[in-house]
Amino acid sequence: MRLIIAEKPSLARAIADALPGSVSREEGALRVGDTRVSWCLGHLLEQAAPDVYDPRYKQWRLDHLPIVPERWRLTPRPKARGQLKVLRALFKQASEVVHAGDPDREGQLLVQEVIEHLGWRGPVSRLLISDLNRPAVHKALAQMQDNAVYQTLYHAAEARARADWLYGINLSRAWTLTGRQAGHDGVLSVGRVQTPVLGLVVRRDLDIARFVPRPFHVLWADFQVAQGIVRGWWQPGETHPLDDQGRLMKRQPAVDLAARLPGAEGRLTSLEAQDKRQAAPLPYSLSALQVDASRRYKLSAKVVLDICQSLYERHRLITYPRSDCRYLPQAHWAEARATLGNACANDPTLEEWLADADFSLRSKAWNDKQVGAHHALAPSGATPDFSRLSTSEANIFRLIARNVLAQFYPALQTRDVKAQFTVLDERFHAQGREILVAGWKPLFASRDDAPPLPPLSEGEAARVIDQAVEDKETRPPEPFTDASLIKAMMNVARYVEDPAVKRTLRDTDGLGTEATRANIIETLLDRRYLVRQASALRATHTGQALIAALPEPATRPERTALWEQRLRAIAEGNDQAAPFLDALIVDLRTLLASADAERMRQALGSAEGFEAAPKRRANKSGGKRKTTRRRTSASTARRGSSGS
């Protein structure tokens, strides 16, 4: 008997439906001829609790730390015992086992740890499925490989699970105990990913709380030229008081110049035009989709992930969603007309976009060299029934289909124009953009492009017909949202100060993975380290205190991002798990030595003051930039660009 073990029941059903023969249901499995298709329910096993290794660890004590198992053990999750019993019985009947976990590191671990836990010693094949529709599953069944090919992936996932246990168990116990000594009642959870993510938010909130707005001033003038009106922005020279971004810090020079401008004659002294081509945005990875959906529809990262899982498992409308890749296999290009034809049926917007697609085009998205275990999110080729989709499901599906459709549109071609006017020996800049070929752009919401300038000729006369001084203030950084925090986790190198580490991290996956980033945010919210304020994510008093009490390396992204880099090396066979874990244990001892109740007490006290600071400033200034104008004439201008 052949036993196929899927990661979830939905995948098991898709596999059974693709096998030849009728499907019948058994307890915890599906039967198709001499094949049984069973499943896990997520992780059936988990790392054993410390007291499983030694009963004395049930009591939390600082002198027990670090807790390092000599021989690692897994225990069944409380709700998994029934399914493990089913699988144990099926293993006794099996002559062959097929591993059908999801095609990623965790999917490899999830099923293989069950196979090894239940003592199977026979052959194991690997079935990789990223699309639940029958033709795709049937094709995958014909292309199975020996599971031994994926052992390095399993070792990396196992090392990740053990490292997270070591890091989380030991540091959480240490800082919870010092927190109790400092008067904090409750568990203080520390994790190798969640804590640096919390650190990003806390530091952003601190920057906002400490921000002191500074006034600056801009002067614009509207120039009458031969074929229209252009707004230019004064470029004060270095003799004026400027900040490091070239902004004018004193108002009087702008006021003095504005008084001289009415009716002044000048010339267009410099004109530059540059034609540009921009390819369509690539198909989505999960994180890229979460960023766009958060901005467009105000959906949390977790909601977007859940919608994608529903579109994949329940509706079977998209391919495997937990992907970090934005490229598609070259073989999919030939099938795209049929796949997108089905995907766009029954929706007027998608059908309109489909009608204008040119399927002879081949964008850079079709690239086997860029495709790893997964490819980008794409429609599966099933025809959607929009009456069965929620509004959010339909919106997310359209985004996914749109980004693949855009690969069959021409490049966006624009002409960017920069003009410099000289009047009264002062320079004014204007810029605009003309769209030459719209290409893929109509599929996307309008972006904040500078409007086109009227036809211009270098050297032509220009007369000032209006001008104004605008008084502004520098603005604090924006608080993190789901979109910006996911983006920060993806591009963590920009938050690293060490140049060498920054260069290294540009090539890694950042903080967390596609599959975990949304859950990391939700975990921080559930543990009350973060709260939502409208769309903003802000750190709570407890979250602020925890970051202040921990040693700085534990709160910054460098360590965990470098972990991911090393785990990737293990997965690719270029590193070993044992040295990685040995180095972690050395690091843990250093971190544990810095646990200090007095530092925690000070952190709890300073966090109270920090939490009140933004409220005081908001009451004083309202937190908004102030803009006033002093106008010298009333004519209406056509704007060339914004100079601030």
Which residue in the list 320, 327, 409, 495 is annotated as catalytic?
Answer: 320
Name residue, tokens 């003009």: 419
Question: CA nearest 44: which of 102, 115, 99, 104?
Answer: 115
Q: Could you tell me which residues come within 8 angstroms of residue 97 by beta carbon, excluding any fewer than 6 positions away?
A: 2, 3, 4, 5, 91, 115, 120, 122, 123, 124, 125
51: number of Cβ within 10 Å? 12
Q: Could you tell me which residues come within 8 angstroms of residue 474 by beta carbon, excluding any fewer than 6 positions away?
A: 213, 214, 215, 216, 247
Spell out the alpha helix ranges (H) of 26-150.
Answer: 50-53, 81-93, 105-117, 134-141
Q: Could you tell me which residues come within 8 angstroms of residue 360 by beta carbon, excluding any fewer than 6 positions away?
A: none
Q: In angstroms, rounded to a whole number, what is the distance separating the alpha carbons of residues 376 and 284?
A: 6
Question: CA nearest 284: which of 307, 267, 265?
Answer: 307
Q: Confirm if 317 and 344 have CB atoms less than 8 A apart.
A: no
Q: Could you tell me which residues come within 8 angstroms of residue 326 by beta carbon, excluding any fewer than 6 positions away?
A: 282, 283, 284, 285, 288, 365, 370, 376
Per the structure block, which two tokens stand in for 116?
């090894």
528: three-class secondary structure by DSSP: coil
* Percentages (nearest 5) of helix, strand, coil residues in the chain: 45, 20, 35
Amino acid at the residue 25: R
Q: Confirm if 476 and 211 have CB atoms less than 8 A apart.
A: yes
In the chain, DSSP finds a helix count (H) and a strand count (E) of: 21, 18
Q: Confirm if 379 and 385 have CB atoms less than 8 A apart.
A: no
Question: CA nearest 202: which of 523, 443, 456, 543?
Answer: 543
Q: In angstroms, rounded to a whole number, what is the distance separating the alpha carbons of residues 340 and 382?
A: 9
Q: In angstroms, rounded to a whole number, what is the distance separating the alpha carbons of residues 386 and 351?
A: 13
Phi/psi at 528 (nearest 5 deg)? 65, 30
Reply yes or no on whether 320 is catalytic: yes
Burial (Cβ within 10 Å: 0-12, 13-18, ≥19) of residue 264: middle
As a three-state string, the secondary structure of 144-192 is CEEHHHHHHHHHHHHHHHHHHHHHHHHHHHHHHHHHHHCCCCCCCCCCC
Q: Confirm if 27 and 9 have CB atoms less than 8 A apart.
A: no
Query: What are the distances in angstroms from CA 153 to CA 104, 157, 539?
Result: 8, 6, 35
Q: In angstroms, rounded to a whole number, what is the distance separating the alpha carbons of residues 402 and 448?
A: 20
Name residue, tokens 């997964």: 374
Mind telling me the catalytic residues?
A: 320
